Structure 1
Amino acid sequence: MTSAPPDTRAAVLDTAPVILAPARRSWEPFARQSIITAFVVGAAIASAATPWLSVTDASRMWQGAALALALLLVAGLMVRSPALRRAEIVIPIGDFIAVGLLRFGTGDSQSVFLAIIVLPVIWIAAGPGRWRILVPLAGTCATLLLPMVLAPGHGITVSETVRLVIAVLVYAAAGAVVNELSRRSLQKLTMSQWHRRLAEAEVSQAAVVQRSLQPVDGSSLPSRFRVAGACVPARTVGGDFYDWYATLDGGTAFTLGDVMGKGVGPGMIAAAVRTVIRSSVDEPDPATAVRRAAVGLDTGPTAAIGAQFTTCFHARISLDGTLRWVDAGHGLTVVRSADGTTVFLRSGHLPIGVGSNWTSSEVALQPGDSVISVSDGVLDLFGGSLDSIDLYREFIEGRDDIQTIVDELVARATRAEQEDDVTVIAMTWGEA
């Protein structure tokens, strides 16, 4: 006894984390620090070069610029060594000191460059974790109180104290807002990724189910029949299907269907049509199986099947070589004689979901004759133009073995990405 396959949805739910931080590229710290360094160094150069910007301590000003450049170098090293990324937060923390030195050297409380500290505030606060609100708050305090360390005798007036407190609160509020927005964005991204993984898992499971419905080989068929078939879906789940099986009278039935569209929706319709037709194994008339499929998909006046109709070729070959077939708007089935000549099996019937009545036709096969049916995606392999059908006919006439035909069509389909499903089924009848 085989165990039941694990529930894919449950597996994804069990392994889905609550919040996942997206992996950031190694060059991001360098890019962020480049902006901050440009502002700090640019401010120092502008202050030294223009008379209307104050310079009260040139050495401290250039120390701030040098520190920003040193931090840029560290960020550059992180690009080459991802292990250093663990210490990334050191860079924006250092920027608070660099901005503090720049501010002290360009007029202290009168400096116009204090606003630069919003950049490291955003850098730190944008990460996950509430502690990232406190770090920018401490960094802002360090920037504003740095003059008291550099100049111990530096006095602070009441009005300046109020201004510094307000500045600290404003930058702290900015950090809190950025952190909250970042947290919400991260939650939405995580949920989006989780839903995407869940959808991919369900689509993969649907593809496994669809492949399991395709016949593996013709070992269960009577010895007078040789069969070959394949389906190369344009997406993980395709709208094409094929099937073959032995009939109760000792013959063989086979089907090829093409649901309009691609993906899971058409794949579900394809599975339904295939199942209903196969359930008619005891019905000698192929048209009856098609009519049952149409009835099974009809849900009344609001049926959506009309928007995704299914073209279908279904046939039964008896032991004496009589081919009874019905074509529901397909038109891509050919009988290839043993001598290489071909004849297309045509009908005026409409596809399932559009038409309401189908009748069967009969053809007497000769030993060695083959019946080959393909989906319209095969014509794209021959250029997809008006002469594709003629090129396809030449391809069929030039190959006398159905397995060769199937293998070469599959090889063409897998050379490049296709816009439509490529499906082929071929059966050869001969004396035992």
Structure 2
Amino acid sequence: MLGFGWLTGLLQAYLVQVRTIRPAEAAAFSRVAIVGVGLFSVCLLGFAGGMHELLFRVLSIGDGPPGWWYYFLFLLTQWPGLFFEQVLTIREKPLVLVLFSGLSALGFMLALLLPIYYGSGLTDALFVLATFAGVKGLIIGGWLIYDRFSLRGKEGEKSQALNGEKPSFPFSAITSLLSTAWPLILYASVGALVTAFDLWFVNYWYEGDESVFATFRYGARELPLLAAIINGAMVVVLPRLTEAPSAGLDLLKETSRRLFHWIFGGAIFLMATSGVWWTFVFTDLFVESLPLFQAYLFVVVSRLLFPMPVMIAMGRTKGLYLFSLSELLVKIVVCSIAAYYFGLVGIILSIVFADVSNKLILMLYVHYYMKIHPRRYMDVRFFLGYLALMILTYAFVIM
């Protein structure tokens, strides 16, 4: 929660900005961006650590989880690490990216498995994460130093000197990055509040009933790796949209079509077979979560609508946070009505409705104000076909 809004906005702005500056300046710009994220992480986590008692009271978690300081150490390199991965993607360093991402995955896996094997607690799991975070920090620092003093960097400086230019701090690029990022940070931050509202509303509506809350949490599950897959695809598409809009729109349409096949297909398969495997995976204790899961799978509909990359690449970001606020207002009204008549399933469908409505409003904006028809960046026929099949599957499983 501490890092979602500002980090998401900066990442999206970086992917746009890095394609608009000279190659000789891009390397220095990327290094400064990583260091800036790291320094801001130190300041933010240092402040949060110093105010942890107040923070934990606000979050209603008492004295906080044991070993919380290890988790803060983990975040200290996790946030710059996420930015570092995007830089590696832009710089076309696939081997380094795979090794670094593999190290992150290994850390998560060992943090889960080692405490189970040795019968340890949460503190030991967080210690493992913090240890791997330290290693990742050394890797990031080493790469920054190597990149700065590598032969490529020297050749870039020589090229600038031959053209009568002096290597300098990329002030203009950083200023432009922050200018592009702030509305995206606002949008992502309000979006985080929209997501947090779901859990708060269930807790409020059912007066803190822990069994109902657990039923909702187990049912409101997205497809595994859904966010990672979509974000990974947009990392490739967004820079292309920025440097060559027409080719970028073609790439977005092609990429989204491939995502339709895998994500819609996966959601429909899970929905159709969930009655068979649900109790085997989650036991009979959470059988009441099954209808919620089946309904919540419709959230993939909003995840597969992509007006946002178009707006970001074209620089239409100033009032984006207003769209998130409108989504929150819609969710408050619809959830209140649906919860009264349909209970938890009504809340789930309200969440889906608000998400899809927000994306459709953005698409209308792109169509009428930016003059870009949805067919230009998505395969409407495949989308509607998969949506119809998903609705039919849902009707079948709830009969």
Give the TM-score normalised by the residue count of structure 1: 0.23
Larger radius of gyration, structure 1 or 2?
1
Task: Determine which structure has the larger helix proportion and give its number.
Answer: 2
Give the TM-score normalised by the residue count of structure 2: 0.24
